[in-house]
């Protein structure tokens, strides 16, 4: 089928099709139960970032859930690059993509005499969509305001947060509560022990006297941006530790920042009621790491957002 020049192209179960033709049945297990997983990278100047690391994490999620998609990691990597290539003509100047790999376990069998959990085969989708630079631009000017909701992160003993599943209801409820308190806030949840954990697609870091701390990997999805910042920070000579971080640590920090696929690294101006570092953003450590990240990817990350404020 010919591609439509004005519609993004996605990979869907072996074919490249216009995005509007990707249809998942209502009996799909991911729709019914959140029974699936995904991963997400972004592009810089139209080129996907750390695809191998994202694909490797995706296959760890698949292994945890026991889903076999019948594709090797190298094949899914090639598909990911091909989706980006087929959509390159739709990318505006200075824009970039979110690029996702998504899998559902498949259709729930309901026929008489059939095992209700009989595997009907997974659905595999690779897609892309524009990054929301304009909607998030002010965060680089003013800093992100973090709200810690009453909703706690699902504990590892129930479902490992290290797997990126389609079941985001825990995060959604937390985000809804945070936005009721502040429509522009980002939620960062506490873990089962009352320590800061993570938000929807974001990891948190605190800085005190030049020492950078972030929650332990056991309690969070270990983001690729998180790992990139840890690597860059150590190259810059900073001490980085994974440890329990409570609200006292955040309220008294010199700096706080979040990492995520889309933002890469963005400073935090407030955590609940507490202004961080006097409310000035970015702080010196975040500014230095933002420059190192920007040099690493060849794009001024903050400016790519801030330019949308004009």
Going residue by residue through the chain, which has 310 residues, state the pLDDT in tens, using 9 for 90 and above.
445 568 999 999 999 999 999 999 999 999 999 999 999 999 999 999 999 999 999 999 999 999 999 999 999 999 999 999 999 999 999 999 999 999 999 997 766 555 554 556 899 999 999 999 999 999 999 999 999 999 999 999 999 999 999 999 999 999 999 999 999 999 999 999 999 999 999 999 999 999 999 999 999 999 999 999 999 999 999 999 999 999 999 999 999 999 999 999 999 999 999 999 887 889 999 999 999 999 999 999 999 999 999 7
Angle of helix 224-235 versus helix 51-65 axis, rounded to 10: 130
Instruction: Indicate the pTM of the whole model.
Output: 0.93
Q: Give the residue from 58, 83, 84 showing the smallest Cα distance to 71.
A: 58
Cα–Cα dist 221/188, whole Å = 13
Residue 244 neighbours by CB under 8 Å, 6+ apart: 193, 195, 215, 216
Tokens coding 299: 């794009």
Cα–Cα dist 87/127, whole Å = 10
Cα–Cα dist 98/167, whole Å = 19
Tokens coding 307: 């330019």
**Mind listing the domains of the chain with CATH numbers?**
9-131 (3.30.470.10), 135-309 (3.20.10.10)
pLDDT at position 207 is 98
Contact 123, 29 (CB under 8 A): no
Contact 110, 86 (CB under 8 A): no
- How many C-beta atoms lie closer than 10 Å to residue 119's C-beta? 14
Note the pLDDT tens digit of each residue in 86-109.
Answer: 999 999 999 999 999 999 999 977
């Amino acid at each position: 089928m010919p591609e439509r020049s004005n519609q993004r192209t996605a990979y869907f179960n072996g074919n490249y099709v216009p995005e509007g033709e990707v249809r998942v049945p209502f009996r799909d297990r991911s729709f019914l139960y959140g029974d699936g997983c995904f991963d997400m990278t972004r592009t810089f100047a139209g080129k996907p970032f750390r695809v191998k690391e994202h694909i490797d994490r995706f296959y760890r999620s698949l292994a945890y859930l026991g889903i076999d998609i019948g594709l090797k990691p190298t094949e899914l990597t090639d598909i990911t690059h091909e989706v980006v290539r087929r959509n390159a003509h739709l990318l505006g100047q200075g824009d970039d993509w979110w690029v996702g790999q998504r899998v559902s376990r498949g259709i729930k069998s309901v026929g008489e005499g059939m095992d209700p959990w009989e595997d009907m085969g997974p659905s595999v989708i690779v897609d892309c969509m524009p990054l929301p630079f304009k909607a998030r631009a002010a965060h680089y000017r003013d800093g992100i305001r973090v709200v810690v909701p009453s909703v706690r992160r699902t504990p590892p003993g129930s479902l490992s947060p290290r797997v990126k599943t389609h079941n985001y209801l825990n995060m959604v409820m937390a985000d809804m509560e945070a936005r009721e308190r502040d429509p522009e806030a980002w939620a960062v949840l506490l873990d089962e022990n009352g320590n800061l954990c993570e938000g929807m697609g974001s990891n948190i870091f605190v800085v005190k006297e030049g020492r950078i701390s972030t929650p332990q990997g056991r309690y969070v999805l270990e983001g690729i941006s998180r790992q990139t910042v840890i690597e860059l920070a150590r190259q810059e000579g900073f001490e980085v530790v994974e440890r329990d971080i409570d609200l006292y640590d955040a309220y008294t920090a010199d700096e706080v920042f979040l990492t995520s696929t889309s933002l890469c690294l963005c400073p935090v101006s407030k955590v609940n009621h507490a202004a961080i570092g006097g409310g000035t953003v970015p702080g010196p450590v975040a500014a230095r790491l933002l420059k190192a990240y920007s040099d690493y990817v060849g794009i001024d990350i903050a400016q790519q957002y801030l330019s949308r404020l004009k």
